[in-house]
Amino acid sequence: MKKNKQTEIQVKLPFNKVVKRHWMLLLMLLPAVIYVLVFSYMPMTGIIMAFKRYQRAGGIYFSPWNGLNNFKALMIQGKLGMVTRNTLLYNIAFIFLGVVFEMGSAILLNEIVSKLFKKVAQSFMFLPYFISWVVAGAIMYNIFNYEKGIFNTVMAAIGASPVDLYNTPHLWPFVLIFLKLWKQTGYGSVVYLAAITGLDQEMFEAASIDGATEWQKIRYLTIPSLVPTMMIMVLLAIGNIFRGDFGLFYQTVKSSALLQPATDVIDTYVFRLLIDSSDYGVSAAAGLYQSVLCFITITVCNGIVKKIQPDYSLY
């Protein structure tokens, strides 16, 4: 018996017929398209300001061209290497420790039997995410102020030496890493917790029947199953590896010149350039430098991941 094979012929419709047939769906899509064009694509034309000598009368588009002089001025100031190094090292620590703490918190929350305790614990972990860096910086200052801070008041009461945190640069990397983890762990653990709840429970039941302990199930089942989610989260974070959390580095450190070698990142550096000198061209050059570094980094890392494990790559 011969089986009749039906082949589907896909005919590509002209654009005007597609619009006529699906005009209602396209109309629903129009607000999102306009939003992306206005707030994501149109601002990209401002990149040309990095190559211009900005004048208020001419604006962004009619100011005279300046070539690469803005980038030369950026290099001459001598701080670009320092802030680039700080931004990179801080973000590497944030990404690595963030994965450990977020995934670990999600696994621990999943192992909690009491639903009430689990909800309360997750709520307390999630709460810091809603506290602004302005408030966090004010709380820190009131705790660690050298003269009237709570911490130093307690230290003086027990006869210990006070800690002058705001004049001790080498302590700030640990402080900033702790604050970042305190704020992002609860929010980041939600993604991993959702991934855990979506895992096939039959493999855990089979492991229990085979005599596997809870730690063995976490080590050999849960963690390997979370690797795809972890890789996507890491790649997304690497895309912003040269972008610092402005609120963290500015609101907690303020404008202390003594702490800048240990806490200054590209974002705060660009902000001070704009405020102190009002040189929009040099600030735009620094922003373009930052964006190019981010683009190169995510492209290289995604390419490496694509060669090793294509399923984990972003594109």
Using alpha carbons only, what angle is made at residue 90 by residues 43 and 138, rounded to the nearest 5 degrees? 85
Position 233 in a domain: yes
Name the residue range of residue 104's domain: 68-133+163-312
**Domain membership flag for residue 117:** yes
Distance separating alpha carbons of residues 276 and 51, to the nearest angstrom: 20
State both tokens at 216.
């063995």
pLDDT in tens, the chain (315 residues): 444 444 444 567 787 888 888 889 889 999 999 999 999 888 888 888 889 888 888 888 888 898 888 888 888 877 888 999 999 999 999 999 999 999 999 999 888 888 888 888 888 888 999 999 999 989 898 888 888 889 989 988 888 888 888 888 999 999 999 999 999 998 889 899 989 988 888 888 898 888 888 888 988 899 999 988 898 888 888 888 888 888 899 888 877 788 888 998 988 888 888 887 777 888 888 888 888 888 899 888 888 888 888 877 777
**Residue 22 lies inside a defined structural domain of this protein:** no
Is 265 part of any domain?
yes
* CATH number of the domain where residue 247 is located: 1.10.3720.10
Distance, in Å, from the CA atom of 315 to the CA atom of 306, rounded to the nearest integer, reads: 8
Helix (H, G, I), strand (E, B) or coil at 55: strand
Cα separation, 210 vs 215, whole angstroms: 14
End-to-end CA distance of the chain: 45
Take residue 163 and report the two structure tokens written for it.
């800690």
Kindly state whether residue 227 falls inside one of the protein's structural domains.
Answer: yes
The H or E element spanning position 193 is helix 172-197
- Report yes or no on 95 lying in a domain: yes
Task: Report how many domains make up the chain.
Answer: 1
Residue at 19 is within a domain: no
Asked, for residue 280, whether it belongs to a domain, the answer is: yes
Q: How far apart are CA 221 and CA 207, in angstroms?
A: 9
